[in-house]
Amino acid sequence: MAIPLSYNIRNLVVRRTTTLMTALGVGLTVAVLLSVLAMVEGLKMAFESSGDPLNILIMRKGSTAELNSNFARATFQQLKFKSGIARNDKGEPQASLEMVQILNLPRLDSPEGMNVTIRGLSPDGPGLRRQVKLQSGRWFQTGRREIVVGKGIAERFPDAQLGKRISFARGEWEVVGVMDGGRAAGVNSEIWADLNQAAADYNRSEVLSSALVRAVDPVAAQALINDLNGDQKLNVKAQSEKEYFDAQTVSAAPLQALGLFVSVIMAVGSCFAAMNTMYAAVARRAKEIGTLRVLGFSRLSILTSFFFESLVLSLLGGLFGCLLVLPLNNLSTGIGSFVTFSEISFNFSVTPVIMGIGLTFALVLGAVGGLFPARNAARKEILTALREV
């Protein structure tokens, strides 16, 4: 004969203070875990949304990122007429020669500043990023010290807002536009400027960083990548733009490892808290346990009842943890990249899958914390239980 579930619910309600404190402990543990998972998920989604499979990024062979690639103008002139490159309405190759630099800017929460990426690009450059839209203002004009910033930069750096000026290289640059790349981490974390003006200011007129070209179709894209990588004269490394950004998800690994480590430490504490709560409940309800045995309930029924009560208690904590994390959804933040050595802007992403992981994690805590007290309750002898105060 099974013990009614209402018995366990009533006990949780009667001992509401203890119930709430234990649920809070579990909830905070779940909230820490979900915060880390939401951050990692948002970062991964930002990189997955960056890049176009038809866009091919070309760097100097041996380079791991655009920042450490020395790419010559002469090389660009040789490769931009390769077979498989798409052409625009004027019949010209859709290709952009680009330069990447790092600039330190003061941030809202960091007066000492944070590195951001400045990208000088050819007139075709913005058009090759088809997911990019102008949120406000206008695009920069060639030959002028004008810049367009990603929306993540505009939100987090007060000096990079529309209409303001930023001093770097040889002069002041006016922010004339703010661009929105959707969830794309690359675009929202960059500052764009005219290539020739930026290269002249940084004294890099001939040696730049990379080239971006658009292929006609996926088959042509792979053929073009193979052709460029096999061309000994050019000595370049070609890969799809999407593959380049996918490789940068390595930035999330240390963050995920640290967060999981903290969550495990807190989980151990939460397990002991749940265990202590259930042990105390078993001690206080000794006579109830003896009475249940007299009424004919089996040891298995008592074990199942107390175990279920622990699960309900932890589930309440899991729901509380999910509620704590929900306000983080779509919250903008940034993290330093080990590849670009600059900040990457992205949004927290609290998905249903992540919340499901949180609830499952809470139930595991409840199961571990409730098993031994439940077994202790089931093993009590009837006369011993009835004599306990």
Whether the CB-CB separation of 118 and 202 falls below 8 Å is answered with: no
pLDDT at 197 (0 to 100): 94
pLDDT one-digit tens code per residue, 84-139: 999 988 888 999 999 999 888 887 666 677 888 999 999 889 989 888 899 999 99
- The pTM for the full model equals 0.73
Q: Show me where the domains of the chain are located.
A: 5-48+250-387, 55-214
pLDDT one-digit tens code per residue, 168-215: 888 899 999 999 887 776 788 889 999 999 999 999 988 899 999 999
For residues 48 and 127, give the distance between their C-alpha atoms in angstroms, rounded to a whole number.
20
pLDDT one-digit tens code per residue, 2-52: 666 666 677 777 777 777 877 887 888 888 888 888 888 887 777 777 778
For residues 1 and 325, give the distance between their C-alpha atoms in angstroms, rounded to a whole number.
40
Top pLDDT among 281 and 164 is at 164
Quick one: what percent of the chain has pLDDT higher than 90? 30
Opening angle at CA 147, ends 144 and 150, nearest 5: 165
Q: Check pLDDT > 70 for residue 337.
A: no
The pair of three-digit structure tokens given for residue 116, joined into one six-digit string:
């951001």
Whether the CB-CB separation of 207 and 178 falls below 8 Å is answered with: no
